[in-house]
Amino acid sequence: MYKHNKRAMQGLAGLSAGVAMAFSVGVSAQALPGTMTWSSYDVGSAGYAEASAMADAFGKQYGTKVRIQPSGSSIGRLQPVLQKRADVGFLATEAFFAAEGTEDFAKKRWGPQDIRVLAGRPAAFGLPTAKDANIRSFADLKGKKIAFVAGNPSVNVKCEAYLGFGGLTVDDVEVVMFPTYGAAMSSIAEGKTDATCTTTTPSQMYELAESPRGIHWLGAPSSDTEGWKRMQAIAPFFGPQVETVGAGLSKDNPAELMSYRYPVLTVRADMSADDAYAFVKAMDETFDIYKNATKVMPRWSLDVSGVPPADAAFHEGAIRYLKEKGIWTADHQKWNDARVKRHQALIAAWDKTMAQGKDLPDDQFEALWQKNREAALSSLN
C-alpha cells in the first residue's frame, strides 16, 4: 500500500470504483448518503460501542444505514479507509503511526499516509490489573503476565510507555501475545494474565471488575514528573488525566491515568471539504440522540472532541464547520498548520527514501527511512 492518497490506490488489484462509499454532494447534514461503512475496533470495544451509537443516531435522524467493520489490528482498521472501502475509521493511535510513518507503517508498502481527523474523543488509557494479583506499584508488576495484542502497535506502544513511566521495559514483565484485542482484554478475567493496557470502558473491563479477580488500575500520577518524562519520550501524544468513568472507577474512586484521543475519526486527506463538513455537522446535529449511549459519549461534544491536539491534522471541511460554531480558534489553526507542514515534510522524505532505497533489504531500508525522517523533522524546528 503506497503512502499518500494520490498514489495509495496504485497496485490494488480487483478494487472496483463501485466499492467506494461516497458522500452526496452538498454541505447539508441531510445530504449524507443512504449507506456508509465505518471501521472500528473489535466488537465489545469502546470504539465499536461508540461507533454503533453514532450509527444508530445517523439512521434515526437521516435514514443513513451504517455498516461497521470491526478489526482487532491497526492495519485492519486503516486499510479499508485508504482503499475507499470505508468512509471513516474510528481509530486509535494507529492514526498517529500512519501519519508519521512509524511502527508497522515504516515498511516499504506503507510509509506516511496523508490522512486527516474529523474529531476525536479525549480518552483515558491505563494499566488495569487483577485485584487479586496485588499489583499496587510498578515494582509489583515485575515478572507478572501482561497481555499484548499481535499486530496492534496502538495498544502495545502505549503499554510500553506505561511501563516506561514506572521505569520498566517489556523485559521486566512476561509478555503474553494474543491474536485480537478482545482476547487480550478478556485474558485477565480468564486467569491467563495479570494485567493489560486499555481504555477504561471496554465491556471486558467491566466483566473483570465483576469477576472474582476484581480490577485495579495502576496509576500514573501527574506529580511524578520523571515518570512522565520517561513516558512521553516513548509516546509524546499523551498527557495526564484524572478519570472517574470506567470499570471500577467513580467520582469517589478516581484514577490518575494518561489521556489521548480514542476513537479518533480519521479520513483520507482527499475527502472533499463538503463531505467532511457534512459528517461533522451530522455529528453535531445528532449529539442529543447519542450523547447518553455510554458514560463517555458526552465527550463527543465538538467543543471537546473538535479541537487539537490529535493524531493528525484536522480536515479543512471539519474546520469550516467548527469555525461556524465558534469553536475553532487562531491557536487551533496555528497547531493545524504546523501539523500539515509536518505531514508534507514526512511525505517528501518518504519519496526521497523510496528513490534512494527501494531495492534495499527491509532492515537497511527502514534504517534509511529513520535517518531521512529524523532529518525532515529536524528541518521543521
Q: How far apart are CA 206 and CA 209, in angstroms?
A: 5
Is it the case that residue 200 has pLDDT exceeding 50?
yes
Q: How far apart are CA 308 and CA 329, in angstroms?
A: 10
Per cent of the chain over pLDDT 70 is 92
* Average confidence (pLDDT) over 230-248: 87
The 10s digit of each residue's pLDDT in 27-75 is 344 488 899 999 999 998 889 999 999 999 999 999 999 999 999 888 9
Is it the case that residue 7 has pLDDT exceeding 50?
no
Q: What does the pLDDT read at residue 19?
A: 37
Q: What does the pLDDT read at residue 26?
A: 36
Q: What does the pLDDT read at residue 27?
A: 39
Higher pLDDT, 238 or 191: 191
Residue 88 phi, psi dihedral angles, 5° rounding:
-140, 140
The 10s digit of each residue's pLDDT in 245-286 is 999 999 999 999 998 999 999 999 999 999 999 999 999 999
Angle at alpha carbon of residue 32, lines to 29 and 38, rounded to 5°: 115
Residue keyed to cell 482503499: 83
Q: What does the pLDDT read at residue 22?
A: 41
Quote the distance between the C-alpha of residue 225 and its chain's center. Answer: 25
- Between 49-58, 97-106, 316-325, the lowest mean confidence (pLDDT) is in 97-106
Pick from 281, 271, 353: nearest CA to 312: 271
* Average confidence (pLDDT) over 78-85: 96
Quote the distance between the C-alpha of residue 166 and its chain's center. Answer: 23
For residue 94, how many C-alpha atoms fall within 13 Å in the half-sphere facing its CB?
Answer: 29
pLDDT class of 1 with cuts at 50, 70, 90: very low
Q: What is residue 293's DSSP assignment?
A: S
For residue 216, how many C-alpha atoms fall within 13 Å in the half-sphere facing its CB?
Answer: 16
Kindly list the distances between the CA atom of residue 177 and the CA atoms of 77, 115, 149, 155, 259, in Å, as whole numbers in the listed order.
19, 29, 6, 12, 24
User: What is the Cα Rg of the chain in Å?
Assistant: 20
Is it the case that residue 96 has pLDDT exceeding 80?
yes
